[in-house]
Amino acid sequence: MSLLGTRQSMGAAALLLAASTVLSRVMGLVRDKIISWQFGAGGEADLYFAAFVLPDAINYLLAGGFMSITIIPLLTRRFQEDAADAWRFFSCVFCWMAAASLALTLAAMCAAPWLARLTAPGFTPEQCQRLALFMRIILPAQVFFLCGACVTALLFMRRQFRVPALAPLVYNGSIIALGLLLPWLDSLPWVRALLPQSLWGRMDGMTGYCVGVTLGAALGAFALPLRVAAKGGLWIAPVWRHPLMGTFLLTALPLMLGQTIMMLDEQFLRVFGSMAGEGAVSLLNYARRIAQVPVGLVGQAAAVASYPFLVSLLAQGDAQRFDQTLHAALRASLGLIIPCALCMAATAWPILGLIFEGGRFGPAQTLAAAPLTRIMLASAPFWILYMVLVRAYYAHADTLTPAVTGTAMTLLCLPVYFFWAAPRGAWAIATVSAASVSLYTLWLTAIWIRRQGSGALTGLAGLGLRATLCSLPGAAAALLLSDAVQRGVHLPPPLTAALALAAGGCVFVVLFLPLARLFAPGILEPLTRRLRGAS
């Protein structure tokens, strides 16, 4: 495949995944809007967000999020050599993943009361008791996530991106549907007639949302990919030994044992947020949700779509095209994320007001979450750089370097979180989060340049600086104008927030675009090229 063809195919895949990410993020925001409306910041919302610490830890321990990274290179080469043996290798990985995830999930469910106190040290005994219930409901989802990750990796290897793009939509849709429906169904007499009396009234609060997590994982992360993979040919048998398992484990072990600062960032916000007072966990989660929107839209699509192509180019021994493809992904992502992050930071107040304010989430919570969102948005360019660059490491079959350096950064940050950030509150926790992510990414970048050279990173620092300078005037004007509208216009809060966001966004675009065309045309190049291609 030519470099142009690679870019076009990668671009189409990135667009599909970006569209899925947009819809998934929108659904995620709708879900959080419903939660914030019903429960505000604190109480049940804190418990719900904290309930994900342990299940996510199991996912990280078994490297579920990196399954496509660890298995795709080995599976690709094996299918080229011997398809029958490739299926035996795939079956072996699937069987061990199913067994390990099931064993860890059952053990965690049994130890949930003790683990609840460990993962949320700031909660009261009553809160920990309910947290344990939420954990037990959510934990089985990891079996579906981890087994589904094996099947999804197979689809990525086949460059079938539609189903992986649909999976998060099914997942979020299930959470919303069951979160709203189960409490209502639980109150109906005919439903109670079908259930044991011991289950009556157990679907109150956020219990329905927890049930939705497990059902959404079963349907979206596992059943849907399995069905599509079976249509295209799928062979799974009880295979427990294969010569390639040793190589697979050597690749996966650093990801399993290396708990990097990027993987644990969200969990640290929850664990140490529980020590920062009631509502801190929820406020940090809402702020992070907003800050991760541009990261997901720009970085996740580029990173996931580029990885199979990077692996393929290395398998062909084409280092030059590898650097060119990596450079294209980094340049396009970085050029878009900086103006997007600065614009969102400037208009954080109306964004949070429009999305979350209402019901039990009042203006005070909006104002409390705005600085947290701005702090986290400061690290957005580093998230993008990490998400793409780390896949270049994995394409080189180097999972050890990111794991070791990320674990070292985690160990350095833990005492800072515990002794400095938690006593000072949510803003300090958000600051440590942004700083640790940025420093880790810079460390990983320096190692890459020393080992692989700066070819793929040439010009990125200059592009980032130009993008920042072109964005700052618009961001400053957007901040002043949106804040003035928020304070001076007396309409219903959603209308005021929408007007402030529209005014801030428009003034940012009006000031940014001419400056970008003059001083940083490379920022707009990927977008204009795609628009020309569409027309």
Residue 1 confidence (pLDDT) above 60: no
How far is the C-alpha of 289 from the C-alpha of 303, rounded, in Å? 19
Residue matched to tokens 């966990």: 281
Token pair of 276 as six digits: 């920062």
Residues forming a β-bridge with 358: 361
* Terminal-to-terminal C-alpha distance of the chain: 25
How far is the C-alpha of 409 from the C-alpha of 321, rounded, in Å? 32
The string of DSSP letters for 411-430 reads HHHHHIIIIIIHHH-HHHHH
Top pLDDT among 248 and 351 is at 351
Question: Coil, strand or helix: which one is 293?
Answer: helix
Q: From residue 50, how far is each of 27, 228, 339, 390, 436 by CA, in Å?
A: 20, 33, 32, 28, 21
User: pLDDT, tens digit, for every residue of 292-342?
Assistant: 888 877 766 666 667 667 777 777 777 888 888 888 888 888 888 999 999
* Across 187-191, 258-262, 319-323, 455-459, least confident range: 187-191
CB 422 within 8 A of CB 272: yes
- Residue in 58, 262, 62 with CA at minimum distance from that of residue 141: 58
Residue 148 confidence (pLDDT) above 70: yes
Residue matched to tokens 């104002």: 367
How far is the C-alpha of 255 from the C-alpha of 257, rounded, in Å? 6
Q: From residue 10, how far is each of 21, 25, 219, 299, 418 by CA, in Å?
A: 16, 22, 27, 13, 42
User: pLDDT, tens digit, for every residue of 377-413?
Assistant: 999 999 989 988 888 888 887 878 888 898 899 999 9
What proportion of the chain, given as a percentage, has pLDDT over 70?
85
Residue 502 confidence (pLDDT) above 80: yes
Token pair of 349 as six digits: 């107040």
* Across 171-180, 189-198, 349-358, 403-412, least confident range: 189-198
CB 93 within 8 A of CB 175: no
Domain segments of the chain: what residues? 42-257
* Across 38-42, 224-228, 530-534, least confident range: 530-534
- Residue in 288, 293, 358, 352 with CA at minimum distance from that of residue 486: 352
At 373, which helix (H) or strand (E)? Answer: helix 363-377
Question: Coil, strand or helix: which one is 361?
Answer: strand
Question: Coil, strand or helix: which one is 50?
Answer: helix
- Residue 249 neighbours by CB under 8 Å, 6+ apart: none
The letter for the amino acid at 233 is G
The per-residue pLDDT for 492 is 87
The per-residue pLDDT for 265 is 87
Residue 138 confidence (pLDDT) above 90: yes
